Amino acid sequence: MINIIPSNILRFLTLILFQVLILNNSNLTPLNITPFVFILFILLLPFETPKWLLLILAFIMGIILDIFSDELGKFSFSLVLVAFLRPSVLNLLSSRDGYRKKTLPNLQDYGWKWFLKYSIILIAIHNVSFYFLEAFQLKYLYVTLFKIILNTFFTTLIIYLIQSFMVRNRHA
């Protein structure tokens, strides 16, 4: 269990650097859609992570991303919302018996169907809050909804590919 701390610190730093240095400097569409892969950090935290720690970690990551992306709190708010709702989403997706001990909420332990449902829900929550904060008016409702759908798709695809790569490397 103690080896989870260094791996999560490494994941935290790697995802922030990947987001800030690579993804924030690439635009996949004319609407400047940038996948938010950093959400993977919150997604992969252990089931037993206390809610207060989830909120603090999400806030710290969000503040760092806000500073480097010049976003004025949008990342902080959206990530804290995801961290706040994560336990409810996990309860919604759990079986009657709950989750197996010594497992993580990832593709390897729970399979692609469960992982896609889990990640799409939380990524969509993040994107809805982020893009509605960005637009801050209903005048751009259709453009905002299109951005949410497109970004949720791209972010989920990249996160799924990263998870598949990690699973494949563990078995190699």
pLDDT of res. 83: 98
What is the rounded distance in angstroms from the CA atom of residue 78 to the CA atom of residue 72? 12
pLDDT of res. 30: 66
Neighbours of 16 (CB within 10 A): 18
CA angle 8, 124, 25 (to 5 degrees): 65
Please say whether the beta carbons of 80 and 130 come within 8 A: no
pLDDT of res. 97: 79
pLDDT of res. 137: 78
pTM of the entire predicted model: 0.91
Q: How many CA atoms lie within 13 A of 28 on its CB side?
A: 15
Extract the tokens encoding 111. Answer: 């399979």
Extract the tokens encoding 92. Answer: 């919604």
pLDDT of res. 26: 77
Query: What angle do the packed helices 51-69 and 4-17 form, to 10 degrees?
Result: 30
pLDDT of res. 100: 87
Extract the tokens encoding 30. Answer: 């004319």
DSSP letter for 20, please.
I
pLDDT of res. 24: 85
Per-residue pLDDT of the chain (172 residues; tens, 9 = 90+): 557 889 999 999 999 999 999 888 876 666 678 899 999 999 999 999 999 999 999 999 999 999 999 888 999 999 999 999 999 999 999 887 788 888 899 999 999 999 999 999 999 999 999 999 988 877 889 989 999 999 999 999 999 999 998 877 765 5
